Chains A and B, each alone.
Chain A
Amino acid sequence: MPNETQQAVDWALTQTYTDSLGDTYPITKDTAQALVDAVRQYFNEHQINYNTFSYNDLLPYLS
Chain B
Amino acid sequence: MKPTNNVQLTGRNVQEIVYFNALAITDAANHDSGSPPYRDVSTIGGKKMLIAYNTTDQAITLNLLTSPISGSGALQVGQTFSLPSGQSKTITSADIRELGEPINRLGVRLKAGVAPTTGSVSVWLEGVQQ
Q: What residues make up the interface of A, taking CB atoms closer than 8 Å to B?
A: 20, 32-33, 35-37, 39-41, 44, 50-56
Contacts and interface: CB of A to CB of B under 8 A. Distances in A.
Nearest to A35: B22
B118 A44 contact: yes
Nearest to A49: B26
B120 A36 contact: yes
Given A37-B55, A44-B117, A32 B24 contact: no
Given A32-B122, A44-B117, A44-B118, A37 B26 contact: no
Contacts, number: 48
Contact of B55 (A33, A39, A56): A33
Contacts of B27: 52
Interface band, chain B:
10 to 19
A11 B46 CA distance: 44
B22 A51 contact: no
Given A40-B120, A44-B118, 14 more contacts: A20-B88, A32-B122, A33-B120, A35-B22, A36-B22, A36-B120, A37-B118, A37-B120, A51-B26, A53-B23, A54-B20, A54-B22, A54-B120, A56-B21
